[in-house]
A and B are shown apart, each in its own frame.
Chain A
Amino acid sequence: MDSGTVLHALNLAYELATLALTTLGLAIVFGLLGVMNMAHGEFVMMGAYAAVTVQQWGLPLITAVPLAVVVCGGLGYAVERWLIRPLYARPFDTLLATWALAMLLRKLVEAIFGRGYRNVESALTQPTLVLGSPYPVYRLALIVFTLAVMAGLFFWYRQSAAGLRVRAMTANPILAQALGIPTRRLASQAFVIGVVLAGLSGVLLAPLIRIEPGIGVDYLLDAFFVLVVGGLGTLGGLFGGVGIIGGAQAITSSIAGQTSGYAVVLMISIVFLWLKPDGLFSRR
């Protein structure tokens, strides 16, 4: 097989995998719970900085995982309790408050770590041969890992009532309570899980990206566009959105450059926001 094609295919898979991982957390918080968390990207960023931190302390990369869980989880709990919950009935204010939170987190990280780029080393960045072409092992591992996570999610979502309950209670909180579902506790749990997943995706991506405080915005916007186009609250929406947004961006970028790729994503999203804000695979 032509090595150029293999490389293209692998890179496409890598882009889609990254997009899927970083969107997953928002798919729960926005897709299921209905909260427009504009600080989503910052949780991804903090996960990456967790990796930076453990490296500074001379610890193996894997220890960034519990660190990210604790930091994102604790912060997520506090945010849900004191920022999101009071503003539940006011979607605009939720949007603004979480945006302000995003700025706050960004500036705090800037103040602590400085604005410069950081890098995280990993032993797995050596290339290996895939169908005759060299490709970094870590990226390969990421693609495989993401496929496994998505497959696992697919089967789990079918079996477990948890995601269903969150979606149901967002649509009809009174009925949910009348059936014994503890809506407040569930909302808190869902939010915390969502931001922890965002943080973990940051940890996973850390060895592959340039880390600096401002990377959150791009992840946030991409995740939003994926969900708007794909549809909220369904796994099919997540996959579909990743495919369309990720695919469109990758293909356009390879033809006309990075900027055009992004412009195409913006245009597709604007059209969907305008004409079909529920997305393609929403169950409304």
Chain B
Amino acid sequence: MSLTFTNIVCGYGDTLVVRGVSGQVQAGRALAIVGRNGVGKSTLLKGLAGLLPLAQGQLIWGGRDITGSALHTRVAQGMAYTPQDNVVFAELSVAENLWLHLNDRDADRYTELFEQFPLLARRQSQRSGSLSGGERKLLAFTRTLGLRPKLALLDEPTEGVQPENIDRMAHLIRQRKRTGVSFIIVEQNLEFVSAFADDVIVLDHGEQVLQGALADLGRERIERHLVV
């Protein structure tokens, strides 16, 4: 299944942050959305996920127009979104965070993920609010993959995560891609992105200033839009 988004315009109240961005993700491909802080990357992802209403634009998923559909219906359609902040239910334990939204207790969901991230397996009864920021991001990432989505929308999944675990996250994403799962990832960490992204969109002030295949654009050119 592929996701196509055309001319996305969205924002908060009367402030428009994203001003006309288009793109596409095919099955088994990964799209990275990069840019400096404040350019509208998170806002774009929220618009794609259905968290923010679109002032303009269209969203087609697997041939169906899902432009106005509510956020909570998207999971059943195969889309899984992870926000940038408040990524876990802080009051609940790690285990509860991993299971409360699921209707079955199929342990297989997390076996491989626990192997990659043993710290989560060890701390299942710990209150997730007492995990560090990076550990919470790891928990959120694990939970999202555990949903077995067809398309995962991740907002800065590596923020605060330890380098070894970042490597493992990239490894898992590559693996899932081979089984046909697509990814749209907002990130500031280019090193991480280069490990698996096929296509890139660079945003600046809410607009698309650069897009294309990562291989064609090259890291140098992209970095120029990002770094200090």
**Do A and B touch each other in the complex, judged by CB within 8 A?**
yes
Q: Is the CB of A175 within 8 A of B86?
A: yes
A161 interfacial contact with B, CB 8 Å = yes
Listed residue (A165, A167, A168, A182) with the most chain B CB atoms within 10 angstroms of its CB:
A168
Q: Is the CB of B100 within 8 A of A168?
A: yes
CB contact under 8 A between A161 and B99, given known A171-B91, A180-B76: yes
B105 → A minimal CB distance (Å): 10
CB 8 Å contact bits of A172-199 with B (1 = contact, 0 = none): 1011111111110000000000000000
B81 interfacial contact with A, CB 8 Å = yes
Q: Is the CB of A167 within 8 A of B72?
A: no
A283 interfacial contact with B, CB 8 Å = yes
CA distance A179 to B143 in the complex (A): 9
CA distance A175 to B89 in the complex (A): 8
Q: A282 — nearest CB in chain B belongs to which residue?
A: B91
CA distance A172 to B80 in the complex (A): 16
CB 8 Å contact bits of A243-284 with B (1 = contact, 0 = none): 000000000000000000000000000000000000000011
Q: Is the CB of A168 within 8 A of B83?
A: no
Contact partner, A165, options B49, B91, B100, Cβ 8 Å: B100
B51 interfacial contact with A, CB 8 Å = yes
B51 contacts across to A, CB distance below 8 A:
174, 177-178
CB contact under 8 A between A171 and B89, given known A161-B99, A178-B81: yes
A151 contacts across to B, CB distance below 8 A:
none
Q: B97 — nearest CB in chain A belongs to which residue?
A: A168
CA distance A13 to B73 in the complex (A): 47
CA distance A5 to B165 in the complex (A): 64
B152 → A minimal CB distance (Å): 11
Question: Interface majority SS on A: helix, strand, loop or mixed?
Answer: helix
* B82-110 contacts to A (CB < 8 Å): 82-83, 86-92, 96, 99-101
CA distance A181 to B81 in the complex (A): 13
A144 contacts across to B, CB distance below 8 A:
none
CB contact under 8 A between A172 and B89, given known A165-B101, A178-B71, A179-B75: yes
CB contact under 8 A between A180 and B101, given known A172-B86, A174-B86: yes
CA distance A100 to B74 in the complex (A): 39
CA distance A192 to B198 in the complex (A): 49
B74 contacts across to A, CB distance below 8 A:
180
B75 contacts across to A, CB distance below 8 A:
178-180
Q: Is the CB of B92 within 8 A of A168?
A: yes
Q: B81 — nearest CB in chain A belongs to which residue?
A: A178
B147 contacts across to A, CB distance below 8 A:
179
A233 contacts across to B, CB distance below 8 A:
91
Q: Is the CB of B83 within 8 A of A174?
A: yes
A141 interfacial contact with B, CB 8 Å = no
Q: Is the CB of A175 within 8 A of B83?
A: yes
A164 interfacial contact with B, CB 8 Å = yes
Listed residue (A165, A178, A182, A284) with the most chain B CB atoms within 10 angstroms of its CB:
A178
B82 contacts across to A, CB distance below 8 A:
178
Q: B75 — nearest CB in chain A belongs to which residue?
A: A180
CA distance A165 to B127 in the complex (A): 16
CA distance A171 to B68 in the complex (A): 25
Q: A178 — nearest CB in chain B belongs to which residue?
A: B81
* B190-218 contacts to A (CB < 8 Å): none
B129 → A minimal CB distance (Å): 9
Q: Is the CB of B100 within 8 A of A161?
A: yes
CA distance A214 to B82 in the complex (A): 49
CA distance A177 to B79 in the complex (A): 12
CA distance A267 to B65 in the complex (A): 59
B157 → A minimal CB distance (Å): 14
CB 8 Å contact bits of B26-51 with A (1 = contact, 0 = none): 00000000000000000000000101
B164 → A minimal CB distance (Å): 26
A284 contacts across to B, CB distance below 8 A:
91
Q: Is the CB of B72 within 8 A of A171?
A: no
Contacts A179-B72, A179-B101 supplied; 5 other A-B pairs, CB < 8 Å: A167-B91, A168-B89, A172-B90, A174-B86, A178-B51
CB-CB nearest 7 A-B residue pairs:
A180-B75, A179-B101, A177-B72, A177-B71, A168-B89, A178-B81, A164-B100
Q: Which residues from chain B sit less than 8 Å from chain A, CB to CB? A: 49, 51, 70-76, 80-83, 86-92, 96, 99-101, 127, 143, 147
Q: List 21 A-B contacts (CB under 8 A).
A: A161-B100, A164-B96, A164-B100, A165-B100, A168-B89, A168-B91, A168-B100, A171-B90, A174-B51, A175-B83, A175-B86, A175-B89, A177-B71, A178-B51, A178-B72, A178-B83, A179-B143, A180-B76, A181-B101, A182-B72, A284-B91
